[in-house]
A and B are shown apart, each in its own frame.
Chain A
């Protein structure tokens, strides 16, 4: 393998502007669509009047829930998310109609003419309001705003608190975050002559999208073909809403018989797309005088917004990882998802872990500070080690538990020990300077892939061609992270061929079995393992049929240096010769492999079980200064260390690290998807601030490789671990600079806090 090559199969297309994203597609006769919002936060008896819009120039059709042949509401767990709402309005993002017109400007002009009227219902805007007895019930199903509740029962903390030297009781909150992929949601749908609707969309999960489209159309899955095209970022955010955008465009194409493009403005994307769950977390932590965490009780509430989406899965991860990478014998946790009339929340890179880590990694520093123990020592005493039993009762014995090593590597790289002594807090103010200096770190472990939250399998197809070239296809989706390139590298390595021989085939939902979604840091471990399985079958097939030509037994055939070899390198075949031979023997050089994730287990009543088949261990550290006069925080240096099993593509891996850290920095310091009376307070990047090139320091990635035996390539994954711990590291550094504890995200220091 060539781990140092910055190999990307799409780099040339992307750097020349030739990569085709959904909005770059134009088709003769194509219509354009625009959504109409119901324009209430909470209301009932919605009436939509499209008569004026229909009469406006260029308007072809106005589609509402009444035109839906299938089901207007859909969802991954509960079918409660309205692709077209009718009657009841539950959030400011609800769409009640789609205007289809000859041009995009005609569609937007007509959309502005659609009139909506409804009877307002008192909205539920906070977790507390939602939990109040007698609060209006938001969900369409069930009779309470508590939409999910996970329990974890491991030992019994209550009697233990009394014996603890220190008991901390703290509350932390995190904010809603917009995914802010640079490409807004877009779909182009084409009715094909054979009756199939083709979907080219900016979406993250072709198979999930297909389910949404087929449900809205009321047609079988086989009538919908979703193609993979270039996607301008996802980060977990291009599922439900992006799928609904595709579904609406598909229905418009079906009803008009013409291709339809629905391209979202940034303002629509902000208004309608789901966000990261805001959390409120209450912790009671009991610690012994030596710094051992003896007992924990955690109660968390996550704002699910108006629709369920994947809230039960997000909060499940918060439950399974409710006290970071630490061993606690007596711990209880209750994690609730709560419905409100805010725009709904769903999957986002990190998935219920960044929130929890923000609390836990500060609690560790707080306890260390109170007990006058070094923060590193505090972590070292409590962290998981080889064969430790986690808070879910899982023994960590199936892989290398490298938590301590990862922390040590980062501590060494950044020089934490020395620098920690130089932090400003507790020292007399330096003369003539308003800068306060701090260093902080955080550690985490993260269950790879879905774990006990879902079905975990993936397929791969290898299709050899007559001329020796090879087509590869997997059920993993390219979202910009470089999945196709990683799969290509893995196959080239498995077959010992030059990279140029392997062509990753653009797949569609009609050409490969549903392999689930490319989420949860599962792309490399699941897709890569499927490639290894298929490659093994492929090599076996070739060995059987080429052994004669190579004058050896099938088990002696080897594959390397872009050739196929017999025993002792006496005979060899080029791939061109090998393929010709197979075709002469009337053998199809084709393999289909499936990888099933190793078994996991979970007991819902106790929250105990083997939650994940493997874990990624991470540590991130940061240096910063705080301006005493203004409270402005400036990052000086970031070191991020991750044990990812094995680096498949080092440059892309580092890109994931830097990108993840940067999103974490946004979460820590800048981003806040706030509401005013249930309406989003920001609608574009003027008020919703993302980190820019000047907001970031130089970063260093430390890659630690302990091949994971559960993954056939040895690789685990990096997408999410990279994001989930810089916020608490920053909060700890801010404390070490100023003595101010920041329990709420985003971190905002006012000059008066520092006086």
Chain B
């Protein structure tokens, strides 16, 4: 059986499903609809998820490539008690959300950035979010949110890890 770990829980992938994109698999087989489909061509970043610690566009990633790996989606970000991840909290506090369609992908890209760099500059944040299109916000409050999240996590020594990885 092909096994994939999603938000900390193992799943078996049916052979027939192996040719789906990871995006289709998440949305249509696992009903994890927080990951969005904005272009299906690897151009908008709405479908960004984390695979073994790295941000990937799930629309261009075949499920097969994720077999044996650990996938984190937006649904896995909240803490064990259902509290929002500091990145999520910062998005709410900084007014970084409008239509919200880009938000899950943005949060995941920001998460990948903060995993490797706890103190990025605003320019580095912009670079890390370059693959994520947002038509509503002009990015400014999203950049605010990511730098706020980084600051809060540093100052309060909060773990960066997604909530789902801390439960176990």
Contact = CB atoms under 8 A, between A and B. Distances in A.
Interface of A: 6, 8, 10-21, 23-24, 26, 179-184, 230-235, 265-266, 479-482, 651-652, 654-655, 657-663, 684-686, 690-694, 696, 698-699
B57 interface: no
Contact of B91 (A15, A265, A694): A15
Interface in B103-158: 103-104, 107, 122, 125-127, 129-143
B34 interface: yes
A693 B135 contact: no
B39 A685 contact: yes
Contacts of B75: 16-17
Interface stretch (B8-16, B63-71, B93-101): B93-101
A183 B101 contact: yes
Interface of B: 27, 31-41, 43-44, 46, 73-75, 77-78, 84, 88, 91-104, 107, 122, 125-127, 129-143
Contact of B99 (A265, A479, A661): A479
Contact of B139 (A234, A235, A651, A696): A696
Given A6-B92, A14-B103, A232-B101, A663 B37 contact: no
Contact of B34 (A10, A17, A663): A17
B140 A480 contact: no
A489 to B, nearest CB: 13
B84 A15 contact: yes
Given A182-B44, A182-B133, A658-B138, 11 more contacts: A15-B92, A16-B78, A230-B99, A481-B136, A651-B94, A652-B95, A659-B98, A684-B43, A692-B131, A696-B138, A696-B140
Contact of B137 (A180, A231, A659, A686): A659
B142 A184 contact: no
A655 B136 contact: yes
Contacts, number: 174
Contacts of A232: 36, 38, 99-101
A15 B103 contact: yes
Contacts of B95: 6, 8, 651-652, 654-655
A12 B104 contact: no
A183 B36 contact: yes
Contacts of A662: 137-139
B133 A690 contact: yes
Contact of B140 (A231, A658, A663): A658
B43 A685 contact: yes
B135 A180 contact: yes
Given A686-B43, A693-B143, A15 B107 contact: yes
A660 B36 CA distance: 23
6 contacts: A17-B35, A183-B36, A481-B98, A651-B141, A658-B141, A696-B138
Nearest to B35: A17
Would you call the interface of chain B mostly helix, strand, loop, or mixed?
A: loop
Contacts of A481: 98-99, 136
B50 to A, nearest CB: 13
The 9 tightest CB contacts between A and B, nearest first, are A17-B34, A480-B99, A14-B100, A651-B95, A232-B101, A658-B138, A662-B138, A17-B74, A24-B33
Contacts of A18: 34
Nearest to A658: B138
Contacts of B37: 23
A654 B96 CA distance: 10
A182 B134 contact: yes
Contacts of B141: 651, 654-655, 658
B33 A23 contact: yes
Nearest to B99: A480
A660 to B, nearest CB: 8
A659 B138 CA distance: 4
B35 A663 contact: no
Given A11-B97, A694-B126, A17 B138 contact: no
A20 B36 CA distance: 11
B129 A16 contact: no
A491 B17 CA distance: 50
Nearest to A700: B140
Nearest to B77: A16
Given A15-B103, A661-B138, A6 B94 contact: yes
Nearest to B92: A11
Contacts of B38: 182-184, 232, 266
A571 to B, nearest CB: 39
B130 A692 contact: yes
A482 B98 contact: yes
Contacts of B91: 11, 15
Contacts of A663: 135
A220 B78 CA distance: 45
A690 B78 CA distance: 31
A693 B129 contact: yes
The interface centre, meaning the residue of B34, B101, B136, B142 with most chain A CB atoms within 10 A of its CB, is B136
A480 B98 contact: yes
B43 A14 contact: no
Contacts of B35: 17
B140 A8 contact: no
A693 B126 contact: yes
Contacts of B104: 15, 17
Contacts of B138: 655, 657-662, 691, 696, 699
The interface centre, meaning the residue of A11, A19, A696, A698 with most chain B CB atoms within 10 A of its CB, is A11
A59 B107 CA distance: 39
Given A180-B135, A480-B136, A12 B142 contact: no
A663 B131 CA distance: 17
B26 to A, nearest CB: 10
Contact of B136 (A6, A233, A692): A233
Contacts of B73: 17
Contacts of B92: 6, 8, 11-12, 15
A648 to B, nearest CB: 13
Nearest to B141: A655
A699 B97 CA distance: 17
A266 B46 CA distance: 12
